[in-house]
Structure 1
Amino acid sequence: MRSISVTMFVSLDGVVQGLGRPDEDTRGGFPHGGWGPQYNDEVMGREMAKGMANAGDMLFGRRTWEDFHHAWGRATDGNPFTKHMNAATKYVASRTLSNADAWENSILLRGDAAETVAELKARPGGNLAINGSATLVQSLHAAGLLDRYTLLIHPLTLGTGKRLFEGPAPLTKFDLTETTTTPKGVIIAHYTRT
């Protein structure tokens, strides 16, 4: 059985919305887009590269898949993240996409995310990694399908925005397996479900 790992950039008050750019995700009138890049540094880059080295296939919700496709799918910058993103098998869970042909190596999972991902998880293959995709993460967490979290906890509060854990979820316990603190104050915490 495959395992599913999640990597999320989160504020101290749990917000995961609009990390990268002012226009990334303005749903609900979110005014703080682009809050994350000021905290990027060498330590964070090195830790993210370690995660990429162990990654198998990628799993996305529709919005994040579309955003990543626009950011990474067309890039020709020689960045190792770009090469990894384009080469990886990418599963996209969506009820609204008609196909996933726009980005190479993408496979559409139609229907209820928890059901289709549970079926995917049960099949042989590489482990699955989710970067972002908060709505998908919430759905899979509620279904008990997530095995590991890597949370990049940023030293700021936003007061508003989509939070990582909203709505009903089962009691789930995790062990803290590793932590790293970056020079800019981001705590990178790795948790494994017990």
Structure 2
Amino acid sequence: MARLIKASAFLSLDGVMQAPGGPTEDPTGGFEEGGWVFKMWDEGIEPTLGSLFSGEYDLLLGRRTYDIFAAYWPYVEGEEKPMGEAFDRAAKYVLTRGDRPLEWQNSHRLTGMEDVARLKESDGPDLVIQGSSTLYPGLLAAGLVDTLILMTYPVTLGRGKRLFGEGTPVDRLEMTDHCVTAKGTMIATYRLGGTLPPYPDEAPNPATSEREIARRAAMAEGRW
């Protein structure tokens, strides 16, 4: 039986997902708002996270998220220790073009979407993605994401890495579940819904006035 790929991400209202967990997590590009999720911690997301990381699962990660996890989770103590132990046990599949060693136990290298597709068809627990912004365009283009859970906080960050980066395909998503927490975080679950339909016949026809024709010409010439 094929595995499911379940992807989840913390987002700002303007689509930023960079460094939700801490100030030093990922300051690349001059990002200064690391740890923004904990600045606005919302207990209302805890059931969603608990469901996502309950039972058996493996992790599918980009290289940078893997490095962040590998430097943190094996060393945690206290209340976070059970999660660290679960991540230690889980297989970590890392999609990367580089050849640097993957030193965290149970780690495996994937080099492209073909590897991900083969892994998805293999026996084993479902694959969970947390973060890993670089994975989404390719996974969506290949139709490999089964569930996409977006936890969108009521905040704008202005700059930073986006979930839907360069290479994201034109696609339609179908919402399968949603809720809004008491603090205003929107939790929405999606599955892939197929291609965008054509412009409907009953929709308004494009304008054909002289002014509209002139506007289109200005666009074509770079003057608009």
- TM-score, length-scaled by structure 2: 0.78
* Corresponding residue for residue 15 of structure 1: 16
Runs ≥4 in structure 1, deviation > 4 angstroms? none
Distance 1:5 1:72 in 2: 20
> Aligned with 1:136: secondary structure?
helix
Q: Which amino acid in 1 is paired with 2:101?
A: N
Mapped contact 1:62–1:97 kept (Cα < 8 A): no
Distance 1:191 1:54 in 2: 21
* Corresponding residue for residue 146 of structure 2: 147
Distance 1:81 1:190 in 2: 23
- After TM superposition, list the pairs within 5 Å mapping 1:87-98 onto structure 2: 87-98=89-100
Structural RMSD (CA) = 1.8
- Point out the more displaced range, 141-150 or 128-137: 141-150
Higher relative contact order (CA 8 A, sep 6+): 1
The offset of 1:165, in angstroms, is: 0.9
Aligned counterpart in structure 1 of residue 101 of structure 2, from 99, 102, 121: 99
Larger strand fraction of residues:
1
Mapped contact 1:55–1:129 kept (Cα < 8 A): no
Which structure is larger by alpha-carbon Rg, 1 or 2?
2
Mapped contact 1:99–1:108 kept (Cα < 8 A): no
> Aligned with 2:72: secondary structure?
helix
Q: How many residues align?
A: 191
Q: Percent identity?
A: 39
Cα 1:76–1:104 change in 2 (3 A) is: farther
Mapped contact 1:22–1:33 kept (Cα < 8 A): yes
Q: Which amino acid in 1 is paired with 2:87?
A: M
Q: Does 1:66 find its partner at 2:67?
A: yes
Residues 67-109 of structure 1: CA deviation (Å, up to 9, x unaligned): 0111211113243322322221111112224332x22222222
The unaligned stretches of length 5 or more in structure 1 are none
Distance 1:182 1:14 in 2: 18
Mapped contact 1:151–1:188 kept (Cα < 8 A): yes
Residues 11-58 of structure 1: CA deviation (Å, up to 9, x unaligned): 000011111112211221122222111232332222201111155211
Mapped contact 2:42–2:185 kept (Cα < 8 A): no
The unaligned stretches of length 5 or more in structure 2 are 194-224
Distance 2:187 2:86 in 1: 21
